[in-house]
Structure 1
Amino acid sequence: MGKTVWMFPGQGSQMPGMGQTLVSEEETKQTLVDLGTRIGLDLTTLLTTGTKEELKATELAQPAIVAHSTLLATRYAALGNKPDYVLGHSVGEYSALVAASVLTPSEAVYLVHERGKLMNQVSGGTMAAVIGLSDVEAAHHAVESIAATGEIVQIANYNCPGQFVISGHVAAVESATAKLKELGAKRVLPLDVSGAFHSSLMTPFAPRFEDFLASSPFEAAQAKFISNVDGSFHDQPDDLKRLLVQQLYSPVRFEACVEQLIEEGVDTFIEFGPSSPLSGLVKRIKKDVKIISITTLEQLEAEGIRG
């Protein structure tokens, strides 16, 4: 019998009005109010009438995404479902840790709010998605050659075959864009983000975030959690905290995580979030797995009955 992974998207999955489904029921609406109170934000308003520009702000986008994702997954679990494995993409790892009973939703939202505030302090950086270049090794060498000049640029996300993301100083990302197009990239698309996430530009903020994590109550994982940092399974609190610090400046190895899960016998991927970008990535990694996307309470109820 196959196994199931619950997966959770990161920044970029947010969109205006994404929380309308969550305020349609009093219980989930109240949960949003409670989560927002913890961090001093009106999450209900942000998730229902927040503008695209407001949701671009890292310190707002991250708690909004995690609140949305964890509410759906918690509700799905209440219907009697549970994952064998959990997987997040970048900030989605915090939602995954809630699904694995490592963190409470409140603690996860608090941590990503603090994380977002730190990340938002990085200036002079950007990110770009590289589409249609399958020779990742050549791309890596090209990016390294630019970084050798002193400007920072790195591969930040390994998403799926033919798609990765670069991150770093604006000028270095622009230089890398030109080189990668010469190598055969079909498109290099600037991302609408406020900084160079998952690059060494984030390193100075790691000790401060480590301090936040040190006092945060973590439990041992009750479902197998696979880390973006190394594509391996981890379940102990100290180990998980260490990886969350490293995740700030390390590349997201999503493709390696999915491949490892498939080796473990996973044949069903269920994505919880405002939208479902990971479902498309998984499909490009392995065509014949079952993929379910849950972005609304209505979808959740339908899948929960079948589950």
Structure 2
Amino acid sequence: MKLGIVYAGQGSQRVGMGKDFYDKYEDFRETIDKATETVKGVTDMDVAKLSFEGPVEQLSDTRYTQPAMVAFAIGVTKLLHKKGIKADYTCGLSLGEYSALYEAGVLDEEKILELIAKRGKYMAEAAADRPVKMCAVLGAEREVVKEACDYVNNALCQEFIVQPANYNCPGQIVISGDAVAVDKASAYLKDAGAKRILPLKVSGPFHTKLMKPAGDKLANEFEKVDFKNPNSKVIFNCLGKEKSPEESVSKLLEKQVQSSVYLEDSIKYMADAGVDTIIEIGPGKAISKFINKTVDNVKVYSIDTVEDFEKTMEELA
């Protein structure tokens, strides 16, 4: 077996996530409690209380979503490692990339949580007081989505922008940017034959040029960080593959926040490298669906609940 571990991104959060793990597994409980202490210098959140009780509006605010999601991912990853389950290849969707770096040993638990809390704060600040939107476009080719974004950007003279943000799987691409530009691109895409346009429950124009201020602030933070060599192969969002020796993790993370996420390419890269089993970690099963739409002959497990975790361990054993 060659194993890939993939981490969910923003938009899959739900009230109650991790409560069953917290109640049953001490390692998970310690991770969540420690996360609250680690992030309190950046954001005023009780990770356990917000994750388990909400309100959903606050949990969906990127300042809070990001630490909550990554704390969940770290807790489950620890349980997998304790069972001897480690990835050959790992990646994540947007903020999930940080969890992948934890899994690979590039950054430790405390540093990951500190950085992700700052990332959430900087991304929220970059989008503050600006009407913005993200939508999933179903049933349109990459070239058509890019053409729609280019057309709208030119028509609006770059005053407002829209960009392809996530290439999730064949037939699903997320566009992001100013609300007026996203709406115009959505109308263009409907006329061009897109099957559906679905607004996403996120709070910013992520993975666009509007996030450059967040990227710049993160770059300053990364200068203080010691990125270790990975002990599993990390596939990076803005590449859709492993980095070259000349590329640095810090520069790729700086770029990631303001560039498209190539999840579809990342999944294909893993499958081409011989990965035959993938575990998705995070609330919901969205990435598992993306994987099944992207590649054949890969067994996919999704760990959202204790039941999922224990069933996966039984089957892998």
TM range (shorter): over 0.9
Aligned to 1:28: 28
1:299 paired with 2:299, answer: no
Structure 2 letter corresponding to 1:130: V
Q: How does 1:1-307 map to 2 (within 5 A)?
A: 2-25=1-24, 26-40=26-40, 41-121=45-125, 122=127, 123-133=130-140, 135-148=141-154, 149-150=157-158, 151-234=160-243, 239-307=248-316
Alpha-carbon contact 2:28-2:76 (below 8 Å) kept: no
Could you tell me how far apart the structure 2 residues matched to 1:72 and 1:53 are?
Answer: 24
Could you tell me how far apart the structure 2 residues matched to 1:300 and 1:43 are?
Answer: 21
Could you tell me how far apart the structure 2 residues matched to 1:267 and 1:127 are?
Answer: 32
State the shift of 1:205 in Å: 2.4
State the shift of 1:306 in Å: 3.6
Structure 1 letter corresponding to 2:23: S
Could you tell me how far apart the structure 1 residues matched to 2:119 and 2:236 are?
Answer: 17
Could you tell me how far apart the structure 1 residues matched to 2:246 and 2:151 are?
Answer: 38
Partner of 2:134, secondary structure, is strand
Alpha-carbon contact 1:143-1:176 (below 8 Å) kept: yes
State the shift of 1:28 in Å: 2.1
Could you tell me how far apart the structure 1 residues matched to 2:105 and 2:145 are?
Answer: 38
TM-score w.r.t. length of structure 2: 0.92
Partner of 2:19, secondary structure, is coil
Could you tell me how far apart the structure 2 residues matched to 1:176 and 1:250 are?
Answer: 18
State the shift of 1:154 in Å: 0.6
Alpha-carbon contact 2:27-2:75 (below 8 Å) kept: no
Could you tell me how far apart the structure 1 residues matched to 2:54 and 2:187 are?
Answer: 35
Structure 2 letter corresponding to 1:43: V
Could you tell me how far apart the structure 2 residues matched to 1:235 and 1:16 are?
Answer: 39
Q: Deviations over 1:120-164 (max 9, x none)?
A: 12133211110122x221221121011113221111111111100
TM-score w.r.t. length of structure 1: 0.95
Alpha-carbon contact 1:72-1:297 (below 8 Å) kept: no
State the shift of 1:238 in Å: 7.2
Structure 2 letter corresponding to 1:302: K
Alpha-carbon contact 1:139-1:183 (below 8 Å) kept: no
Partner of 2:166, secondary structure, is strand
Could you tell me how far apart the structure 2 residues matched to 1:211 and 1:284 are?
Answer: 38
Alpha-carbon contact 2:31-2:74 (below 8 Å) kept: no
Identity, % of aligned pairs?
36
State the shift of 1:236 in Å: 7.0
State the shift of 1:225 in Å: 0.1
Could you tell me how far apart the structure 2 residues matched to 1:156 and 1:147 are?
Answer: 15
Q: Structure 1 residues 108, 236: CA separation in 2 closer, same or farther (over 3 Å shift)?
A: farther
State the shift of 1:237 in Å: 11
Partner of 2:267, secondary structure, is helix
State the shift of 1:300 in Å: 1.9
Q: Deviations over 1:53-102 (max 9, x none)?
A: 11111010001001101110111111111110001000000000111011
Could you tell me how far apart the structure 2 residues matched to 1:119 and 1:299 are?
Answer: 32
State the shift of 1:229 in Å: 0.5
Structure 1 letter corresponding to 2:18: G
Alpha-carbon contact 2:5-2:280 (below 8 Å) kept: yes
Could you tell me how far apart the structure 2 residues matched to 1:159 and 1:278 are?
Answer: 8
State the shift of 1:219 in Å: 1.0
Alpha-carbon contact 2:27-2:78 (below 8 Å) kept: no
Partner of 1:288, secondary structure, is coil
State the shift of 1:301 in Å: 2.9
Alpha-carbon contact 1:220-1:235 (below 8 Å) kept: no
Partner of 2:276, secondary structure, is strand
Partner of 1:233, secondary structure, is coil
Runs of 4+ residues deviating >3 angstroms: 234-238
State the shift of 1:107 in Å: 1.5
